[in-house]
Amino acid sequence: MKYKATIITISDKGSRGERKDESGPAIENILKKYYVIEKTFIIPDDKETITHTIKEVIDSKGVDLVVTTGGTGVGKRDNTPEATRMAIEKELPGFSEIMRVESYKITPHGIISRGICGIRKESIIINLPGSPKAAVECLNFVLDAIAHALDKVRGDETECGQALTD
């Protein structure tokens, strides 16, 4: 069974149709190989809207993976980490840490990203940068760990392919 994913592009200009979304489709191109893409959204960088959208797709739609792109920088309207923090129940700091470390190896500006990752119910939320290049790079840094993390969140008791009781 493939897990279900939703992609949320967070952009004031994109939500008003003033800017073409390039990050969402770039992320979808990668994720569709491994996940069923349930829906994609373009929403404004508004804390309440972001939090509500994340909660809605998980609580009502049963989406397993929510990937956001945009709003993770230091600009005045960059609200994604704060909004995500209001939606998650547990943080997954390793995902965010590896994205920043690996991004820093490409550009020193990688440390400016404030994206977080976490768990709500049995779903995972991952914040990616808004740049298509950076979003794809960061997703690829954590892609192999996502399905394993989802398995664990959903109660898989195996470790590295072996039962824990072995």
- CATH number of the domain encompassing residue 64: 3.40.980.10
Contact residues for 32 (Cβ-Cβ < 8 A; gap 6+): none
Sheet holding 4-10, edge to edge: 36-43, 4-10, 65-69, 123-128, 117-120, 90-91
Confidence at residue 129, expressed as pLDDT on a 0 to 100 scale: 98
For residue 143 the two structure tokens come to: 């892609």
Query: What does the pLDDT look like over 79-130, one tens digit per residue?
Result: 999 999 999 999 999 999 999 999 999 999 999 999 999 999 999 999 999 9
Contact yes or no for 141/99 (Cβ under 8 A)? yes
Integer Cα distance of 71 and 53 in angstroms: 14
Integer Cα distance of 48 and 79 in angstroms: 9
Kindly indicate the confidence band of residue 49, based on its pLDDT and cuts at 50, 70 and 90.
very high
Kindly indicate the confidence band of residue 159, based on its pLDDT and cuts at 50, 70 and 90.
low
Residue 62: other Cβ atoms inside 10 A: 12
Element (H, E) at 43: strand 36-43
Query: What does the pLDDT look like over 7-44, one tens digit per residue?
Result: 999 999 999 999 999 999 999 999 999 999 999 999 99
Residue 46 vs residue 164, higher pLDDT: 46
Confidence at residue 93, expressed as pLDDT on a 0 to 100 scale: 98
Confidence at residue 156, expressed as pLDDT on a 0 to 100 scale: 84
Q: How many domains does the chain have?
A: 1
Kindly indicate the confidence band of residue 161, based on its pLDDT and cuts at 50, 70 and 90.
very low
Is residue 52 scored above 90 in pLDDT?
yes
Confidence at residue 166, expressed as pLDDT on a 0 to 100 scale: 37
Which residue range(s) make up the domain with 10?
4-163
Is residue 134 scored above 70 in pLDDT?
yes
